[in-house]
Amino acid sequence: MDTIISPIALYLICVLGALGVAAALPRRNKSLEITGGLVFASAVGLAVLVLGLKATDSGQPLPNYFFYPFAILALGASVRMITHPRPVYSALYFILTIIASCGMYLLLSAEFMAFALVIIYAGAILITYLFVIMLATQAPSSASAQFIDETDAVAREPVISCVIGFALLAILTTAMFRGVSDLPAASHPELAQDSVLLNLPAKVERILDRAGQLEAGERLARNEDGTAAIDIAARTITIENTDLHTTRTLQSDQWPDKLAAGNLDRLGYNLMHDHPMTIEIAGIILLMAMLGAVVLARKHIELEEDLKAAQARKLGDSMSGGNA
């Protein structure tokens, strides 16, 4: 049953979406845009319905409802972004898309990336875009406040690109819904979690200290390679007393509740331990981009030869005057 209904519903969503977006793209005929928006909204509604049915199929009766508002907001804002004739509004709708996808990041327990995305993307990159849009757009005169530049008012080949785009979406989604059920469930998270904790002895020590497990003069024992002395298999932590040079073990039923590496610990550890070289490369990319942007956008001021000579003389005079 699922194998028949699911593809048909998916392709229906894709066709409806393609029709909606193709009609909603900016053109001279304004009434078509509203119709397109409605058709696209119905496509999103159908998609939510199918996804919701698929969610209830998977065993648990209550789906996580927070996903749906974020998904609807992200898709609606992104289609409004590509269809709005005014660039500034497009950029603002893109910020809305980013915030909606940050909500999804939170649901995926990637809270650090969610806030970093708001700060970096919505706060920095998009503001740069807004600056350039305002810099490079002619201000409308008072007589033509409603005038929209020809560049923005009419889309180029809306039908063909919508067909190509949504054909791609149909293929992608078919592959996804078929393929994901074949993926093994993530039941083997390896030892990543434990190795993170093992390599963060200071953090483990702090957690133990806050939980009141460490008495005066005690500290977490370290292995020879500097990692925390946690025996994963036996579930014990070794604590040594530096004054008396004695050790004791902490059984797992005495472990504090919060003894786990959080998202930020894992991310930081992964970034610094597994990808140290990539950070260097990213730094070089950013530096090169900065230099390139400065060189590209620099304004060349052409001066006549005698004007140049006069300026050089003036500069020389002022400098020697300053010295004297």
Partner 1 sequence: MDHLLHSTQLAQLAFPEAVPAITLAHYLFVSAAMFVMGLIGFLTRKNMIIMFLCTELMFQAAGLALIAFGRHHLGADGQTFVIFVLCVAAAEAAMALALVVLLFRHKETLSAQAWKELNG
| SS3 category, 227 | coil
Site track for partner 1 across 205-234, x = CB under 8 A? ---------------------------xx-
Alpha-carbon distance of 57 to 78, in angstroms, equals 29
Q: How many residues does the chain have?
A: 324
Q: Pairing mode, if any, of strands 218-220 and 236-241?
A: antiparallel
Closer to partner 1 at the Cβ: 168 or 319? 168
Helices (H), 84-157: 87-107, 111-117, 126-136, 150-153
Closer to partner 1 at the Cβ: 74 or 208? 74
Closer to partner 1 at the Cβ: 124 or 309? 124
Asked if 198 touches partner 1 (CB under 8 A), the answer is no
Paired tokens of 16: 């409806």
Which of 200, 221, 218, 222 shows the shortest CA–CA distance to 209? 218
Give the side-chain half-sphere CA count within 13 A for 154. 5
CB of 316 to partner 1, least distance (A): 32
Closer to partner 1 at the Cβ: 114 or 220? 114
Q: What angle do CA 22, 24, 26 make, to 5 degrees?
A: 100
Among 193, 227, 236, 241, binds partner 1 (CB under 8 A): 193
Asked if 20 touches partner 1 (CB under 8 A), the answer is no
Sequence-distant (≥ 6) Cβ neighbours of residue 191 within 8 angstroms: 232
Closer to partner 1 at the Cβ: 221 or 269? 269
Paired tokens of 96: 């809305």
Closer to partner 1 at the Cβ: 189 or 226? 189
Paired tokens of 100: 């909606």
Among 4, 145, 183, 202, binds partner 1 (CB under 8 A): 183
Asked if 161 touches partner 1 (CB under 8 A), the answer is yes
| 1, 102, 120, 315 from 290: Cα distances, Å | 55, 27, 16, 30
Q: What is the footprint of partner 1 within residues 239-278 (CB under 8 A)?
A: 260-263, 266-267, 269-271, 274-275, 278
Closer to partner 1 at the Cβ: 74 or 218? 74
Among 162, 198, 204, 208, binds partner 1 (CB under 8 A): 162
Asked if 41 touches partner 1 (CB under 8 A), the answer is no
Site track for partner 1 across 80-109, x = CB under 8 A? -xx----x--xx--x--xx--x--xx-xxx
Paired tokens of 306: 């005698």
Size of the site for partner 1 (CB under 8 A): 110
Among 29, 31, 146, 187, binds partner 1 (CB under 8 A): 187
Phi and psi at 137, nearest 5°, equal: -110, 135
Give the side-chain half-sphere CA count within 13 A for 248. 11
CB of 255 to partner 1, least distance (A): 11
Asked if 132 touches partner 1 (CB under 8 A), the answer is yes
Site track for partner 1 across 283-322, x = CB under 8 A? --xx-xxx-xxx-xx-x-----------------------
Residue 135: CB atoms within 10 A of its CB come to 7
